[in-house]
Structure 1
Amino acid sequence: MTSPQTQPRPQQEPPPTQAEQNAPETGPAQRGAETEGGEKHAGGKVVHMHTAHPQLSIPYVTPGDMFTGARTAASRLPSMRKMVFYGALGGMAALEALEWPVALAIGAATEVITREQRQRAAGAQGEQRERPATEPARTEAPGRTEAPRPAQAATG
């Protein structure tokens, strides 16, 4: 016979917690299932993850494409002289030698004046191109007034 001290005791489940007592009754499959190894898995919620696999076309970029893009970007940058000017203006604003609204106004006014001068120069070049090559450009002295001569028609 075995003594009471050597007899295996039956395993008792721990008393249910307050949350388990208030939870609705679930079926035996949801309470926990014993696997082959004797492990218990508590029933829980299952999250299904869906992954997206979009169709992306990866462009083939050649070195020639890269150089063309770099040249295009470089052509849109201001000249080195302007970059130094705007850099100095920004540096003065950063060091608080100028207030930033004043520096911004100076930079904007400079850009507006530069564009205006460029448009005037382009307009003057356009007028010179429109003149016929046979008619020289006239320069008048300040005191002389001369009536314009009509253009001579070619006879032949």
Structure 2
Amino acid sequence: MNKCVCTTEAAALLGISSRRLRQLLDSGRVRGAYKSGKFWIIPLFNGLPQISKGSRGPKGKWRKNRAPALAKINVNRNRIGTNNGKPREQRQPVISVKRSGNNLYGNQVEILGPCRIVYQPDKPLNCGARLWIETFSDVHFIGGCFPATS
């Protein structure tokens, strides 16, 4: 079931005044909104009220949710090689997660949603990886994560 909000909360989510939102409600342009007594009940779709397009005037500048950044996950085989023969406490984490210019390392990750495995031997990543996992979903490190070090 979708979450519902009042006019003040919905206006804040859209980045418009509550007066403008009430004008949109009165003209029937807010999807699924209904009046209960003297209050409007406004359902959220993907975290925002859904406004239908008007037929006149300038286009609305509704604030959209920013698309999540693509994460690329790969195993650093160089770190695996340098870890051979080292005691457990001196081993470096080998799984790399690159997202939005950040690079974090860990030994276990959980991908919380859909993902795909990509093999591109002719077009590797900047780090040289030819096989990696891509996802827009959240990635959680199990046992902690570490910033990239050289």
**Larger Rg over CA atoms:** 1
Q: From the two aligned structures, give the one with the greater helix fraction.
A: 1
- Taking structure 2 as the reference length, the TM-score comes to 0.21
TM-score (norm: length of structure 1)? 0.21
Determine which structure has the larger strand proportion and give its number.
2
